[in-house]
Structure 1
Amino acid sequence: MDIYLPIADLPVNVFLVFAMGTAVGFISGMFGIGGGFLMTPLLIFIGVSPAVSVATVAAHITASSFSGALTYWRRRAIDLPLAFVLLIGGLTGTAIGVWLFGVLRALGQLDLFIALAYVVLLCSVGGLMVAESVRATLRAHRDRNKTVPARPPGGHTWVHGLPLKARFKQSRLYVSILPVLAIGGTMGFLGAVMGIGGGFILVPMLIYILHVPTNVVIGTSMVLTLVTMGGATIMHAATNHLVDALLALLLMVGGVIGAQFGAQAGQKMRSEWLRLLLGLLVLAVGLRFAVNLFVTPGEIFSFRVMEGGR
């Protein structure tokens, strides 16, 4: 059964879109990530324009991250001062990303930029995740009977020597706000331009760069994702008019259902295998984008109606 998407300006199969939402929700629940890095490419692959895909997935991530952020709020597992500083950088990065989005769209280079950004980001992150998970698996087999102490969250690196320090009591950190602003700005920019919540990047950055404790890192990252992606949705809707609410609704319904089953499946797998599967998935999507960029299409020429009837 097909349904017409008014903003995307094309008919799509309802069951296909629902299945996509369910599949991405399953993966999100299994790996504990937002899934925007996968949803945006899937929409592009079925014919939705990259611009509409990015803006609509931003709305989808906003809705899906709201319930998660609310849950962690009730558990008091959010460092609000840290989240506030992240949001200052995040909203700034989001505004810059939406501005660049509009500029590239006006120049006709937006599709190419999004594709290149996905190739670079996903291939890099996917390759690093696969390599790290393989090393962890081999190390686990080699040191099966040994106990390796975990690196304490209070350890110090060059980041902790930067000026303009602030104290974040719940995270037990005394660190410069400069890297916090930089991390927030980077994630806001990526969310606005690529339509990804960035949890699979943000959480490791908070843990390994700032040494935020794991008991507050997920809830704090969800607050950043919620506000930045919500801001990106509003900005895209107001300036670019690209948010397809009907498409976002179909994806949300499927995503909520799939996430429940994914969470149950993820609890039954070892963490090393989960990271390996996620890395392979991220790498596969990046390679698919690379193939689309460099392989000559079957139809070299195409016709497209320009905005304003020109």
Structure 2
Amino acid sequence: MDVYLPIANLSVNGLVIVALGAVTGVLSGMFGVGGGFLTTPLLIFYGVPPTVAAASAASQVTGASVSGAFAHARRGGIDYQLGAVMVAGGTIGTGIGALLFRLLQALGQIDTVINILYVVLLGSIGGLMAHESIGALRAQRSGTQVPARKRRHHPLVASLPMRWRFYRSGLYISPFAPLLLGMGTGIITMLMGIGGGFILVPAMLYILGMSASVVIGTSLFQILFVTMVTTMMHALTTKAVDIVLAGLLLVGSVSGAQIGAQFAQKARPEKLRLVLATIVLLVAFRMALGLGYRPSEIYSVVPL
């Protein structure tokens, strides 16, 4: 089933795009990530221009986050107070990211920067996640008890002024910490078309010291609103959002997120982290190959 994408200016198989949306939706519900970290690279591999892939994937992440957030909200897994602070920071970060996006577009370097960001971020975070999950699985097989990590925020967070109580997360920290975290996520979302969940979830656990029971739901809550703002910002400034592409991705992602949320309650967390780390590292490796590999024909003419 061939479908024409007007902004990307190419024809694609609609069923393939829907299936891609379903896969990223499952990841959203399972891990609390928007799935954009996988959607954008796969769209680029499929032949969609990086600018269109990043802008359109952000709108798809919104749909996946809506479905996943509702699933976690039903079991009380969202800290709305802390999430609102991160949404405010994400909105500010989106504006900063829009300026950077337009600047890089004017310099003709946006495609290269998107690819490099993916390699650096996915490679580093995937490596850390894989190291932690493999260590936990080895300890379980050998029968040794893994010492429980003390849930405490980072010393830099403790040094920030003004402290609020975030009762649902069990935190007493400065609101500037989640605000700055949200800003960073907003910038990355605008540049890369990702929800930022693969950065948010570990940061909320290890930097903010949040309770694990509300991390995934709160991450999806923040991603939902930040990607909405990102999509509107792209539509108004870069004009790179392909509504046909985004619609096909949404069809698959909304249903996939519900499946992922159910599966996350049954699977072991260590195995889930290892699966996610493997996917992240494979995508980073493929992106790195694309940066360094020189095709046999640098220029080619494709008949219409």
TM over 0.5: yes
8 A contact 1:86–1:184 mirrored in 2: yes
1:87 corresponds in structure 2 to 87
User: Per-residue CA shift, 1:223-262, capped at 9, x if unaligned?
Assistant: 2111111100000001111111111111111223434444
Change (3 A) 1:185 1:302: farther
Distance 1:263 1:54 in 2: 25
Equivalent position amino acid for 1:234 in 2: M
1:157 corresponds in structure 2 to 155
1:205 corresponds in structure 2 to 203
More displaced 10-residue stretch of structure 1: 99-108 or 174-183: 174-183
1:133 corresponds in structure 2 to 133
Q: Does 1:47 align with 2:47?
A: yes
Q: CA deviation at 1:165?
A: 2.3
Distance 1:194 1:226 in 2: 16
Q: Does 1:286 align with 2:284?
A: yes
Distance 2:265 2:165 in 1: 35
Q: CA deviation at 1:171?
A: 2.2
Q: CA deviation at 1:38?
A: 0.3
Distance 2:232 2:7 in 1: 15
1:255 corresponds in structure 2 to 253
TM-score by length of 2: 0.91
Q: CA deviation at 1:150?
A: 3.0
Distance 1:140 1:159 in 2: 32
> Unpaired runs of 5+ in structure 2?
none
What does residue range 178-257 of structure 1 map to in structure 2 within 5 Å? Answer: 178-257=176-255
Equivalent position amino acid for 1:20 in 2: L
User: Per-residue CA shift, 1:202-230, capped at 9, x if unaligned?
Assistant: 11211111111123222222221111111
Q: CA deviation at 1:266?
A: 4.8
Equivalent position amino acid for 1:281 in 2: I
Change (3 A) 1:25 1:69: closer
8 A contact 2:154–2:206 mirrored in 1: no
- Where in structure 1 do 4 or more consecutive aligned residues deviate above 6 Å? none
1:174 corresponds in structure 2 to 172
Q: Per the alignment, in what secondary structure is the counterpart of residue 237 of structure 2?
A: helix
Change (3 A) 1:160 1:23: same
Equivalent position amino acid for 1:254 in 2: G
Change (3 A) 1:282 1:240: same
Q: Per the alignment, in what secondary structure is the counterpart of residue 99 of structure 1?
A: helix
- Superposition RMSD on alpha carbons, in Å? 2.2
2:5 corresponds in structure 1 to 5
Equivalent position amino acid for 2:21 in 1: G
Q: CA deviation at 1:166?
A: 2.3
Change (3 A) 1:263 1:72: closer
Equivalent position amino acid for 2:201 in 1: V
User: Per-residue CA shift, 1:81-134, capped at 9, x if unaligned?
Assistant: 322221222111111111111111121100000000001011111111111111
Q: Per the alignment, in what secondary structure is the counterpart of residue 33 of structure 1?
A: coil
TM-score by length of 1: 0.89
Change (3 A) 1:107 1:227: same
> Unpaired runs of 5+ in structure 1?
305-310
Change (3 A) 1:27 1:155: closer
2:112 corresponds in structure 1 to 112
Distance 1:271 1:173 in 2: 23
8 A contact 1:133–1:275 mirrored in 2: yes
Equivalent position amino acid for 2:240 in 1: L
Change (3 A) 1:25 1:74: closer
1:308 corresponds in structure 2 to none
8 A contact 1:23–1:258 mirrored in 2: yes
1:277 corresponds in structure 2 to 275
8 A contact 1:25–1:258 mirrored in 2: yes
Q: CA deviation at 1:295?
A: 0.8
Q: Per the alignment, in what secondary structure is the counterpart of residue 3 of structure 1?
A: strand
Number of residues paired by the alignment?
302
Equivalent position amino acid for 2:269 in 1: S
User: Per-residue CA shift, 1:34-84, capped at 9, x if unaligned?
Assistant: 211000001111111111111111111112212333444454443233222
8 A contact 1:44–1:53 mirrored in 2: yes
Change (3 A) 1:123 1:5: same
